[in-house]
Structure 1
């Protein structure tokens, strides 16, 4: 896709409310990082009380994935998850607008040698990530030290789409934004030895998925990771990130490439990926994006879970 360009149409009065909101958000990002964390938690507290449908989805997901947890612990996770989501709003803004030097101080990156080794070997990389609430700032921090291409879905509001893409791509001056449905472009990029951020942990429907267990619940799981790795001749490197509890920033970990992947079947690969997802999410459940209806698509004859 071409680089985002400013258009005179963005000055139309219908965009003025969004311009005002963006200006206020930019001013807020000038505050110290600890203050932004506190503001994010306050925003999460407000969201918890007004976002009834999303609150129900988060609560239901926690019930399905952690049935053995005491009710009180699941309630605590619910509160902390909304706090993390509120913080993510300001993390998004800082990743777009903070000076690179200021942003870089928050990064604690491990395993970068796995990316560089693949690049040296001329192999593409599927950077297999997850939808943690920290995904926006995590991608920005990693993008400062290594070019990452990304799957992209255009936002309905053209001004917001412009601001979002400009904010994201400033960390990767030679990065490529690939339409989510453009498989041919993704394979081309992988075969050219580049790295692509890709997350296989959401429900994309029955057509492109297999049903395998996730946290003991049958889940529609995309088979694209296997197809991309095989056809793109790429390595799959799991990638995780976390917001550090001491307020010092973020720990980003690029894990070693999955051995013998793709495996003997797409089903075995999907199960292996879901088992990795379980481990990563169980370690930081409060920072995961539980507001997605992960178990929306059901096998024939099974009742809806939401």
Structure 2
């Protein structure tokens, strides 16, 4: 699949080969599960998350270390409770992904709302493109679907190695996107922004040393941060709007849209990365237990500096 073109879901007969039957079975099970009432879905997600916390020990240690690095001012007991809640959200993410892919607009609207929708509308009325900062919350897949029902845009994604999952993922995401772009297709993103499109972009993970600089992120002074945001803002000249999809205690979902960020420092890559990380921090603090802490956010270190994870976790 080329990274230089718009990507749409395309069914081929190869997807029916026997090697993919187990994948189709798993997708079918997920589809049936998300037909159940939401309280049942939540209990299944909670149970799955707590079970996962006992089984994927390396990922648990990664999340625990991330919380310790980012929130050293919190007590160990508070961080452990946050870790437990985070694994519940991890289990829920499986079913929320199914909800995003398979629920109808009608059912979703019964459980969702958007706050700050007017910020997107105001920018779109001017014809300016929008770089929508989609931070890696465990609810991100569902949040993108919710927001996309009102504001379909251009999705940015990494193709899945399993072609069946990739097809289902694309088909689900295209319910709320006009088309998808490979995450390396920077030119395609810039073209879309110049046309006034809304482009989804997630700059909060550690993508390695290439095209990154080190900037503060919470209590970690040097976190590898992509300069991709600067490239897109400089060449596409969009408004920058972060959003946060949050699962509320009553089982509903609220997408919080932030006012456009102003005074982005285009002339300094480190200042720009620091600016963006600070904006991301503010979004994470809206629901820190629902953020993807299982990712090794600080795996890339400046030359000569010690790793921040143990060897067993660092090599995971």
| TM-score with structure 1 setting the length | 0.96
Which residue of structure 2 aligns with residue 258 of structure 1? 261
1:275 and 2:275 equivalent? no
Q: CA deviation at 1:264?
A: 4.2
Aligned 8 A contact 1:153 1:180 in 2: yes
Does the alignment pair 1:304 with 2:298? no
Which residue number in structure 2 is paired with residue 141 of structure 1?
Answer: 146
| Residue in 1 that maps onto 2:200 | 197
Matched, 1:26 2:31: yes
Q: How does 1:141-160 map to 2 (within 5 A)?
A: 141-160=146-165
- Cα separation, 2, equivalents of 1:10 and 1:224: 34
Moved more, 292-301 or 275-284: 275-284
- The alignment partner of 2:123 has SS state of helix
**1:302 and 1:132 mapped to 2: Cα distance?**
29
Give deviations 1:274-302, integer Å, cap 9, x for gaps. 11222222331110000110001001110
1:110 and 1:189 map into 2 onto residues whose CA distance is: 25
| Paired residues of 2:134 and 2:202 also in contact (CA < 8 A) | yes
Provide structure 1 residue ranges, at least 5 long, that are not aligned to the other structure: none
Match of 2:190 in 1: 187
Listed one character per residue, the Cα deviations across residues 59-92 of structure 1 (whole Å, up to 9, x for unaligned) are 1101111112111111111111000010010000
Maintained 8 Å contact 2:243/2:283: no
How far does the alpha carbon of each residue in 1:119-167 deviate from its partner, in whole angstroms, 9 at most, with x for none? Answer: 2111110001210000000000011111121111110000110011101
Aligned pair in 2 of structure 1 residues 2, 127: CA closer, same or farther (>3 Å)?
Answer: closer
Match of 2:95 in 1: 90
SS at match of 2:114: strand
Give the aligned partner of residue 291 of structure 1.
294
| Cα separation, 1, equivalents of 2:102 and 2:215 | 40
Name 2:236's counterpart in structure 1: 232
1:223 is aligned to 227
CA deviation after TM superposition for structure 1 residue 263, in Å: 4.3
Matched, 1:54 2:40: no
Tell me the C-alpha RMSD between the 2 structures: 1.2
Deviations 1:31-53 (A, max 9, x none): 10111111100000110000011
Report the number of matched residues: 303
Residue number in structure 2 paired with 1:8: 13
- Distance in 1 between residues matched to 2:66 and 2:7, nearest whole Å: 38
Unaligned runs of 5+ in 2: 1-5, 310-316
Shift in Å at residue 262 of structure 1? 4.0
What is the CA distance between 1:268 and its match in structure 2? 1.4
**Structure 1 contact 229–262 (Cα < 8 Å) conserved:** no
Aligned partners of 1:128 and 1:236 also within 8 Å: yes
Q: Secondary structure at the match of 2:279?
A: helix
Q: Secondary structure at the match of 1:35?
A: helix
Separation of aligned partners in 2, 1:128 and 1:15: 34
Structure-2 residue corresponding to 1:66: 71
When normalised by structure 2's length, the TM-score is 0.93
Instruction: Please say if 1:243 is aligned against 2:247.
Output: yes
- Secondary structure (helix, strand or coil) at the match of 1:240 reads strand
2:45 alignment counterpart: 40
Q: Any idea what SS the aligned residue of 2:240 has?
A: strand
- State the match for 2:106 in structure 1: 101
